[in-house]
Amino acid sequence: MTTYQVGYFIGSLSEKSINRVLSRALIRLAPAELEFREIPIKDLPLYNHDFDADYPPEGRALKEAIAASQALLFVTPEYNRGIPGALKNAIDWASRPWGTNSFTHKPSAVIGTSPGKIGTAVAQQSLRSALSFCNSPQMSAPEAYIQFTPGLFGEDGEVTDPATQQFLSDFMADYKAFVERVLTVLPPR
- Res. 184: pLDDT tops 80: yes
Phi, psi (rounded to 5 degrees) for 165: -60, -45
Q: What is the CATH number of the domain that holds 156?
A: 3.40.50.360
**Which residues span the domain enclosing 23?**
4-185
Strand partners, 7: 37, 72
- Res. 109: pLDDT tops 90: yes
- 77: which DSSP letter? -
Q: How far apart are CA 111 and CA 148, in angstroms?
A: 12
The residues, ordered by sequence, that sit 6+ positions from 154 with a Cβ below 8 Å of its Cβ are: 160
Instruction: State the pLDDT at residue 151.
Output: 95
Number of structural domains in the chain? 1
- Res. 150: pLDDT tops 90: yes
Q: How far apart are CA 187 and CA 172, in angstroms?
A: 21
Residues 127-148: what's their mean pLDDT? Answer: 95
- Res. 40: pLDDT tops 90: yes
Helices (H), 12-102: 18-29, 57-67, 85-94
pTM score over 0.75: yes
Instruction: State the pLDDT at residue 1.
Output: 79
